[in-house]
Chain A
Amino acid sequence: MSEFTYLFRNGAPTSSPASPEQMQQTMNKWMAWFKELSAKGHLKEMGHPLEPSGKIVTGKTVNDGPFAEAKDLVGGFSIIQAKDLAEAAEIAKGCPILDVGGSVEVRPSRKMNM
């Protein structure tokens, strides 16, 4: 088993806002998805949602940021266990963020071996 980080991006906001009922359904889908990952032993760490703004530290200066476009912002991350990159990507296909035009970036953790 290898470790992978999922970086979730929400994608471009839709033209018409989701209704409360739709948002509730989206959330239920996420909860069900995480539950399934966990049941199958793929969820190493659930991770966190991230606030859209913070600070960027470069050298000795601290600036507000990030100022990426909303669709490019990382909105959260999770740590996943899978056989290989192909399986990790396959699992990501079930992520509810894809239904609303978002994306999952799948990044293998680098191993210690040389």
Chain B
Amino acid sequence: MEVTDHLFRREAGRMVAVLTRVFGMHNIALAEDAVQDAFLRAVEVWKFRGMPENPSAWLMAAAKNRALDILRRQRTAKTFAPELGRLLESEWTLAPVVEELFAPQAIKDDLLRMMFSCCHPRVPEEAQVALMLQILCGFGVGEIASAFVSTRSATEKRITRAKKVLAASKKLFDVTASAEFSARLPAVQRALYLLFNEGYHGASPETAVRTDLCREAMRLNAILLENPLGRVPTTYALAALMCLNAARLPSRVDAAGNLSSLFDQDRTQWDQQLIVEGQALLDLSFTGTELTEYHLEAAIASVHARARHSEDTNWVDIVSLYDRLLELRPTPIIALNRAIAVAQQAGPEKGLSEINSIGGRERLATYPFYFAALGELELRCGRDEIALQHFAAALKVARNPMERRFLAQRAKACSTLHDTTRPRA
């Protein structure tokens, strides 16, 4: 039987989290080595013996045995988790204490603890996301580098630096201390949001890689929702945003492997179960007094999800949601998305003038969909020549073959329209 569904990757996070609890945050490298050993052992044994009945339990038991081994051999030379201190030093207490640490509920807390540890205030946001991917999601450095379209050495450096910060912390993050928990929660939510976005909007040409990132963000956010302190309206908003956007993932690439814009997507492919779940989460998110960007982005996704055809979209609602989003986070990308919505509501000329008045719009010069938006709107105004120039500019900054194919096809649409009497879309 083949081991599927990323078993190793998924278990890696749980194993590193619990071993770090046993060894202490300063020994995170030791925990990672022990997990590597457990996997090597699994590969050696399973390939001859076949899969055990419960592979997760087998791996966790292998990690536990490695932990006991290391604790026995190195307890005089090393200090392990200071919180456990003397309990690990005596053979009387060692085994029962370790047994307790490997209980399922304890492991869940360890995952949550690790999530908060990764979002240390002295670790930059991008590195927090990379850390989560490596420690909690079991991604290798090479896999993270390719997901972020970065080089292996740059990614390695970023992660090593971040781990040094973690290893320097004197104690583990206390997930039961409500003040500390609430203080760091926004950073954790932000990192999960960035992780999801890297999957949803990122530059990786691999659809499968990007779907994986979205899925991992949703999995980690679900862990956050399981905790009473993490189960707050903003976390629900984040969950709603993820569900409602992920529902559209199946239709973002068409059968021929080409990128499909929101207007052209086959909406029958949208995941109805995720939409229903997302709407319910969105309702739960409005039970507090807070209105965050996650609430607004989820609400925008919800308006799209409710439109069976692109023409049925309530653009008035979407523009007003973007207005409020722009107040909370005035970035050129959000202003661009708002302008596109305005164009749908009030026509392409209005949309173009909105784009042209975006403050700091030179920052969009490396974003292919900025030029693509200009191209689409000029095309709709019948100025094919100008549209073509914009698509050419978009092509120059396209980040992967899929984007290039999409933009080349749009550029071709300009000349086709120019040459023939085909009606304009």
Contact = CB atoms under 8 A, between A and B. Distances in A.
A46 B142 CA distance: 34
A98 to B, nearest CB: 14
Contacts of B3: 24, 27-28, 31
B48 A19 contact: no
Contacts of B51: 31
Interface string A20-42: 11111011101110100000000
B6 interface: yes
Contacts of B39: 20, 23
B47 A34 contact: yes
Contacts of A22: 140
Given A18-B140, A19-B143, A31 B50 contact: yes
Among B3, B47, B138, max chain A CB count under 10 A is at B47
B181 interface: no
Interface in B5-37: 6-9, 11-12, 36
Given A20-B138, A21-B138, A21-B140, A27 B12 contact: no
B286 to A, nearest CB: 39
A30 to B, nearest CB: 4
A47 interface: yes
Nearest to A51: B44
A49 interface: yes
Contacts of A48: 48
A21 B209 CA distance: 12
Nearest to A50: B44
Given A16-B141, A31-B1, A21 B44 contact: no
A18 B142 CA distance: 9
A47 B49 CA distance: 9
B365 interface: no
B84 to A, nearest CB: 27
Contacts of A20: 6, 8-9, 11-12, 39, 138, 140
Interface string A102-114: 0000000000000
A11 interface: no
Interface of B: 1-3, 6-9, 11-12, 36, 39-40, 42-48, 50-51, 138-143
Given A22-B140, A76-B48, 17 more contacts: A16-B140, A16-B141, A18-B140, A19-B142, A20-B9, A20-B12, A21-B6, A23-B8, A27-B43, A27-B46, A27-B47, A28-B3, A30-B47, A31-B3, A31-B46, A31-B50, A34-B47
8 contacts: A19-B143, A20-B6, A20-B140, A21-B6, A21-B8, A27-B42, A28-B2, A31-B2
